[in-house]
Amino acid sequence: MEQLNQILFSFEAFVERGDGTTAPFSLRVFQPAYEEGHGFYCIVECPFIREKHFKIFGVDEEQACELSIVFIRQSAEDMKAHLVDAQGNKVSITAIPPETIIPVGSPKTDGS
């Protein structure tokens, strides 16, 4: 998994639980890749959501990145997790700027 060395997006915060305690929250989304038979995907690491990294697929590189963020936001919301900074101020996970995504192409799109 070569793309595990190519971090595209990184986010650090804290999760505020209902009982007032906090825990570290980290998110890393790696540059997209192409998997024959499945399409484009990003590897996502977010130990709060899942201990092991996982893949989020999309129709192209940009959608795979976008859906990675959407999935994490929705998962945190479903878990009633409130993201805060070190001072306890509410923070949000931002979108991945499309210009930071390295196109990988696919056999269907680049003629390889």
Q: Report the alpha-carbon distance of residue 41 to residue 27 in Å, rounded.
A: 16
pTM here? 0.86
Cα 21 from chain centre = 24
The structure tokens listed for 49 are 């959501």
Bridge partners of 9, per DSSP, are 29
Bridge partners of 43, per DSSP, are 55
* pLDDT tens digits for range 44-57: 999 999 999 999 99
Considering only residues 1 and 73, tell me which one the structure prediction assigns the higher pLDDT.
Answer: 73
Q: Number of structural domains, the chain? A: 1
Containing structural domain, residue 49: 2-110
Q: Is the pLDDT of residue 112 over 80?
A: no
Q: φ, ψ for residue 24 (rounded to 5)?
A: -65, 145
Question: What per-residue confidence (pLDDT) applies to 20?
Answer: 77
* pLDDT tens digits for range 71-98: 999 999 998 889 999 999 999 999 999 9
